[in-house]
A and B are shown apart, each in its own frame.
Chain A
Amino acid sequence: MNNVLQIAWLLPILPLLGFIINGLGRNILSKAISGLVGCLVVFASFLLSVFIFIEVKNGNSQVVHYFDFLNVDLLKIAFAFKFDPLSSLFLLIITGVGFLIHVYSTSYMHGEPDKDFAKYFAYLNLFIFSMLLLVMGANYVVMFIGWEGVGLCSYLLIGYWFRINDYTNAANKAFIMNRIGDLGFLIAVFWLIAKTGTVEFDQVFSAATIAKLSATDITGITLLLFVGATGKSAQIPLYTWLPDAMAGPTPVSALIHAATMVTAGIYMIARSNILYTMAPVTQGVVAMVGLATAVLAATIALKQNDIKKVLAYSTVSQLGYMFLALGVGAYTGAVFHVMTHAFFKALLFLGAGSVIHAMGGEQDMRNMGGLKKYMRTTHLTFLLGCLAIAGIPPFSGFFSKDEILAAAYVHNPVLWVIGVITAVMTAFYMFRLYGMTFLGKFRGSHEQEHHLHESPAAITFPLIILAILAVVGGWIGVPKIFVHGGHRLEAFLEPVFRESNAITTKHEITHATEYMLMGVSVAGALIALIYAWRRYGKYQQIETSPKGITKILENKWYVDEIYNSTIVQPLRSLSGFFNNIIERKGIDGLVNGTGKLVNYGSRQLRWLQSGQVGAYVLLMVLGILILFIIQLFL
């Protein structure tokens, strides 16, 4: 084993080291040092990931065992890392995009005090560490450690400005919703252990183990795992935390809530693909939930005015797309979309961050406009990102989205129709965002206009790199009809999805149909794009109170309000009941009552001790008399 996999353990250790240095030295390190440490460790991890990727690409996939994490009776859980095409691809995305976002953060967060700056980088490094554990773990338990770790970091970073109450609430919301999902994951793992006695991926996915599971078991386990995924990857019904998570600093939104953490659910399902393929019921649920989320989030994004909220709902919508892909068995398509989405959504978030930075913290698009001439690099990269997410060829989003839509069409044309509608809406709201932000006249205050400037190199450099990736990233997955053998990603991931592909019946669609599908979605996206461009390029603020469907969309279908009244408030009143009645009156009453009783009794008995000797003697005589009476008569 004389290769780079031997030192692969360094991969998560490096960010952990960065976390320890920045975390412990946050009071003494200057911004330059903590920024440098934060970036360097991730860059080193990135280099390692590249070597690992090359190693895996050369056909050297393996599981590296370090020590036994648990060894109880028959249950043996190893602490082991699995290096295969799927995990190595995720490693590249996480460390690569992660590194760019670290660089970006050094400039974006520069206004923070030294102490908070180091704390921020410590959290960010801890996040990279947890995320690496999540994707490298060779069993569900190690994956779960990372799974919880990223949830924690997400919580810490959303609540980074914890002095603002709303932000803390958003962090709590994210954490609690994630916990609900995590419970599903945990139960699924227990179920798996109970039925098969192992959680190691290699063993669980082997034919021998799967034979031990009944159809009900597989459906139950996969559904529970999917519950975990809905929490982490923001799907119906647990998606509402993601838009609120925009309370965190923008680079955090880019890294955690767009590019990496939220794709953990997709990674987990792609990893367990064989189980899902064997549970058609679950697949149907996954596809429906994914599609419903995609449509719902896209409709909400149409009418949002906060630049980050639009991107957040867009992320939810794109994640829905990925689940649709998983549900129809297009695992490669889902992973492909994870990759391209990581590029263009990170780019869009970072671009939005650059805009917010220039606007001095303003996030409302109604007060922006005309930023094109002030911020050339940001504008250009943002435009490329919008084109990529809108699915305009030859940008990356087109290829991944097309693959998902084609797979959906093969599965059921209805899914395809809804998917295309969502894609059209995506193009519309992205160019609404673009038009309101960069085109037209500036609508902010004079002070803001004076302040407008292009962001420094540390911000534009990651934008440029990501823009290039957003443009060319899709070229590794060119469909067969354009270039034969053009889908290199599929060939690369083939070992991971081999068994699933063997089971799934393949319906080939004709080239004519495929061209038609592409044509329809691209034409729809283009029309939406041009319409939005023309309409919002000349956007003027009009004071009209929203009516009808607009009002519903602006209020996000009132989902938060519904959750609030059906779940949060009843829980609150139940807790209130327990607090006021059971706790205060019942338990406290019992405890305090005992004290009071003793106190009162003692005070009454005190009168017996009068100090009169005669009284004592009388009592004594009476006592003796009573004893006599008992002795003689009873």
Chain B
Amino acid sequence: MDIKAYLVLSLTLFTIGIIGVLVRRNAIIIFMCVELMLNAVNLLLVAFSKMHALSTAVKTSAAYAADAQIFVFFIMVVAAAEVSVGLAIIVMLYRNTHSVDVNFLNRLKN
């Protein structure tokens, strides 16, 4: 399969994530958009990894073919940990402000 399709998909997801972070004020949605960006990158990594493994250059040492795909699992694990921390922050935010609107945070300003 052509790598271009993966690239376009991944870029689309990433852009949606960025725009989501920039325009939304709800902390949970921003958080989800961050995850979207992360996973867009993960997708790209897996796609390139597969393409790399199929190419002739590394056929002789198949042992390394799946490296990046394993690496993605690690990223997912770390992302899960990060999600728990992030959600905890959002919970604390809600408890304090009764809202998950990030613009509420500017009250630290003064």
Contacts and interface: CB of A to CB of B under 8 A. Distances in A.
Interface of A: 609-614, 617-618, 621
B78 interface: no
B106 A613 contact: yes
Contacts of B102: 613-614
Contact of B103 (A609, A614, A618, A621): A614
Interface stretch (B18-26, B42-50, B82-90): B18-26
Contacts of B95: none
A610 B106 contact: yes
B21 A617 contact: yes
A567 to B, nearest CB: 63
A614 B107 CA distance: 14
B108 interface: yes
B63 interface: no
**5 pairs of A and B residues whose beta carbons are closest in the complex:** A611-B106, A611-B109, A613-B102, A617-B21, A618-B22
B21 A612 contact: no
A618 B18 CA distance: 9
Interface in B63-110: 102-103, 105-109
Nearest to B107: A611
A613 B103 contact: yes
B18 A621 contact: yes
Contacts of B22: 614, 617-618, 621
Contacts of A618: 22
25 contacts: A609-B109, A610-B106, A610-B109, A611-B105, A611-B106, A611-B107, A611-B108, A611-B109, A612-B103, A612-B106, A613-B102, A613-B103, A613-B105, A613-B106, A614-B22, A614-B23, A614-B25, A614-B102, A614-B103, A617-B21, A617-B22, A618-B22, A621-B18, A621-B21, A621-B22
Nearest to B103: A612
Contacts of A609: 109
Contacts of B105: 611, 613
A215 to B, nearest CB: 86
A611 B21 CA distance: 16
Chain B's interface size range is 10 to 19
From A612, A614, A618, A621, name the one whose CB has the most chain B CB atoms within 10 angstroms.
A614
A629 to B, nearest CB: 16
Given A610-B106, A612-B103, A614-B103, 17 more contacts: A609-B109, A610-B109, A611-B105, A611-B106, A611-B107, A611-B108, A611-B109, A612-B106, A613-B102, A613-B105, A614-B22, A614-B23, A614-B25, A614-B102, A617-B21, A617-B22, A621-B18
A605 to B, nearest CB: 15
Nearest to B101: A613
A224 B14 CA distance: 90
Nearest to A609: B109
Interface of B: 18, 21-23, 25, 102-103, 105-109
Main secondary structure of the interface of A (DSSP, over half): helix
Contacts of B18: 621
Nearest to B27: A613
A481 B8 CA distance: 133
Contacts of B103: 612-614
A617 B106 CA distance: 14
A128 B91 CA distance: 91
Contacts of B109: 609-611
A613 B22 CA distance: 9
Contacts of B106: 610-613
A618 B22 CA distance: 6
B33 to A, nearest CB: 10
A611 B25 CA distance: 13
Nearest to A613: B102
Contacts of A613: 102-103, 105-106
Contacts of A612: 103, 106
A618 B25 CA distance: 13
A611 B105 CA distance: 7
B77 to A, nearest CB: 25
A610 B106 CA distance: 8
From B18, B23, B108, name the one whose CB has the most chain A CB atoms within 10 angstroms.
B18
Contacts of A611: 105-109
Contacts of B108: 611
B109 to A, nearest CB: 4
A326 B105 CA distance: 95
A532 B109 CA distance: 95
A432 to B, nearest CB: 88
Contacts of B23: 614
Contacts of A614: 22-23, 25, 102-103
A365 B28 CA distance: 105
Nearest to A624: B18
Nearest to B24: A614
Nearest to B110: A611
A609 B102 CA distance: 15
Contacts of A610: 106, 109
Contacts of B25: 614
B18 to A, nearest CB: 6
A253 B25 CA distance: 93
A363 to B, nearest CB: 75
A609 B108 CA distance: 11
A621 B22 CA distance: 9
A609 B109 CA distance: 8
Contacts of B107: 611
A492 B106 CA distance: 101
Contacts of B21: 617, 621
A617 B21 CA distance: 8
A609 B110 CA distance: 11
A126 B102 CA distance: 82
Nearest to B23: A614
A444 to B, nearest CB: 82
B91 to A, nearest CB: 17
Nearest to B105: A613
A421 to B, nearest CB: 92
A426 B36 CA distance: 114
